[in-house]
Amino acid sequence: EVQLVESGGGLIQPGGSLRLSCAASGFTVSSTYMSWVRQAPGKGLEWVSIIYTDGTTYYADSVKGRFTISRDNSKNTLYFQMNSLRAEDTAVYYCAMGYQPLHVNFWGQGTLVTVSS
């Protein structure tokens, strides 16, 4: 059974950093397309970043240069390093898996990141 469990969210001041983790089971992270999708309170879904099976990464313009997606194959875990956080980064961050880089087949339950002073 595919499972994705996010952790690492919390309250952080503007300009601060956080690292999100997504522990995967039931499949191999390096063999699938792993993404982060966020949802601001009461809002819709926004794609943020993806890492391909070959390690290629892509980012939304809103986070490029501040956030970094990575994975640890030995731990079968996806990470999201978020630096220079802004109030507009406040959202639930979902870890998401796709068998192709096209749509999401499975979602984690999400972790809330709140950027506020």
Chain contacts with another protein (rule: CB under 8 A): 44-47, 50, 52, 58, 60, 94, 101-110
User: Which of 31, 28, 10, 30 minimizes the C-alpha distance to 19?
Assistant: 10
Nearest residue (CB) to another protein, 23 versus 46: 46
Nearest residue (CB) to another protein, 9 versus 108: 108
Q: Smallest distance, Å, CB 5 to another protein?
A: 11
Per-residue tokens: 10: 């919390």
Tell me how far apart the alpha carbons of residues 90 and 72 are, in angstroms, rounded to a whole number. 25
Q: Smallest distance, Å, CB 116 to another protein?
A: 21
Q: Smallest distance, Å, CB 88 to another protein?
A: 17
Per-residue tokens: 65: 């240069």
Nearest residue (CB) to another protein, 16 versus 43: 43
Q: Smallest distance, Å, CB 34 to another protein?
A: 11
Length of the chain: 117
Q: Quote the radius of gyration of the chain (alpha carbons, Å).
A: 13
Nearest residue (CB) to another protein, 15 versus 40: 40
Contacting residues for 86 by C-beta, under 8 A, at least 6 apart? 14, 115
